[in-house]
Amino acid sequence: MIIQVVGAFFATLFFCIIFNISRKQLLFCGINGAIGWLVYLLTLNMNSIVLSTFLGALVVSIISHILSKIRKTPVTVYLIAGIIPLVPGAILYKAIYNIVIQDYDMSSFYGIQSIELACAIAVAIFLVASVTKSSRRTK
Amino acid sequence: MNYKLVFKSAILSGEIMLRNGAETYRVEDTINRILKTTNFQVIESFVTPTGIFATLDDPSIEMITYVKRVDKRTIHLSKVTLTNDVSRKYCTNQLTIEEAYEKLLEIKDKPAYSNLLVIIATGLAAGFFTIVFSGRFNDFIISTIIGSTLGLVDILFKKLNIYKFFYDIVGGCIIALVAILFTKFIHFGSNFDLIIIGSIMPLVPGVAFTNAIRDTIEGNLLSGISRGVEALIVAAAIATGVGVVLKLYYLLSGGGLL
């Protein structure tokens, strides 16, 4: 598991280079991605990928908002970086694979699951953004 | 006050941000904040992922309206951060408008990371994602090779001005081809699925997806939908690329070897 989390750190970090995030932010983005993946792995034994992804995305969004306040940088920078490991690329592949071997039951299962995961991430980002927005208004 | 320069700066900062992967509502917000420093009566901006419209009006001036079409979009988030900084400093009077405009022009031409670094980064990102999904060291090496190829093809396609969606299809094909080559013919990697899953990640439309959500939350429904559709089409293109190659291999190998 430690290897996976370290992997997530480096994967996120190199991703940030593809997105041309400036050098000063790289480390924070990497840590954010690693923490998101750690939360995902820790909650995975509760037997629901959707819930784990949701929690991972929730933690990532909270950290992103805090970081962006402290370092005066747009939230997007941290959010995009942190969310990347959670994006359902693997499930998408399984959906394609099952279409290829003509197992349409499994492919629709994975297809629907990838939509569920996308929605889980969306709701997590949505929740945190709504809360921070309302706190901004009341100030 | 040189209100024309303020207007020009507002549009320029909006253009830089929109071109380089900022959310639409952030672009609108930035433009409005800069325009507000003129204290004019009418300040309005409307931004979609493909264009900026802004208007400035006051009894003391002729109305100005500006339409800016933004066609090419890349992801260069450090430019978004820098533009954000400049507008923040200008709005809190730490910069004059001339200095701000000067800085914006500088940011516009700011170089990205070098091509070689991007190619290596794409490779290692793919490689480490294979590790994240519990791949072995051999798989890591293969994914890194695939990822670097993707980075190279991406840069090549950008130079040749080829559509992004075509790149996603070709990228999907490359991933599946190389993965099959290594695992089935050279017998180097042990885990075919993990190699593909890791290598897909650099193509997956994470930015479009995240921005689609954030735009929708802020009430920019038009942008939210268009970015959402963008993410969907990219996902479909990757699926097509990978799927076609897998299917071909499946048929050629008689169905048993996947």
Residue of chain B whose alpha carbon sits nearest to that of A98: B243
Which pTM does this prediction carry?
0.84
d(CA B26, CA B84): 9
Instruction: For B91-137, give the DSSP string.
Output: HTTSS-HHHHHHHHHHHHT---S-HHHHHHHHHHHHHHHHHHTT--H
- Given a cut of 50, the residues of chain B with pLDDT beneath it are none
- Cα-flanking dihedrals φ and ψ of residue A126, to 5°? -55, -50
Angle between helices B192-200 and A89-100 (to 10 degrees): 130
- Using CA atoms, how far residue B129 sits from A55, B139, B215, in Å, is 20, 10, 28
Collect all residues of chain A within an 8 Å Cβ-Cβ radius of residue B81. 21-22, 25, 73-74, 77
d(CA A13, CA A26): 6
Quote the radius of gyration of chain B (alpha carbons, Å). 23
Cβ contact B193–A7 (<8 Å): no
The pLDDT of residue B228 is 87
The pLDDT of residue B124 is 93
Strands (E), chain B: 42-48, 51-57, 64-69
Q: Which two tokens stand for residue B73?
A: 């979009």
* Burial environment of residue A44 by CB neighbours within 10 A (0 to 12, 13 to 18, 19 or more): middle
d(CA B238, CA B123): 17
Residue A100 touches partner B, C-beta closer than 8 Å:
yes
The pLDDT of residue B256 is 58
d(CA B201, CA B151): 12
Interface test with A, best of B73, B86, B128, B238 (most A CBs within 10 A): B128
Cβ contact A126–B217 (<8 Å): yes
Cβ contact B132–A7 (<8 Å): yes
d(CA B253, CA B239): 21
Q: B47 - beta bridge partners? A: B52
Given a contact cutoff of 8 angstroms between Cβ atoms, the answer to whether B11 and B52 are in contact is yes
Tell me, what's the ipTM?
0.86
The pLDDT of residue B206 is 79
**Minimum distance, in Å, between the CA of residue A128 and any CA atom of chain B:** 11
User: In 3-state terms, what secondary structure has residue B76?
Assistant: coil
d(CA B223, CA B227): 6
User: What percentage of chain A exceeds 70 in pLDDT?
Assistant: 96
Residue of chain B whose alpha carbon sits nearest to that of A11: B125
Cβ contact B81–A77 (<8 Å): yes
Cβ contact A76–B75 (<8 Å): no
Could you list the mean pLDDT of each consecutive 10-residue stretch along chain A, which spans 139 residues? 88 89 88 92 85 93 91 87 86 84 89 88 88 65
The enclosing H or E element of B191 equals none
Residue A130 touches partner B, C-beta closer than 8 Å:
yes
* Number of DSSP helices (H) and strands (E) in chain A, helices first: 6, 0
d(CA A94, CA B136): 19
Interface test with B, best of A5, A75, A100, A106 (most B CBs within 10 A): A100
Strands B64-69 and B51-57: antiparallel
The pLDDT of residue B16 is 93
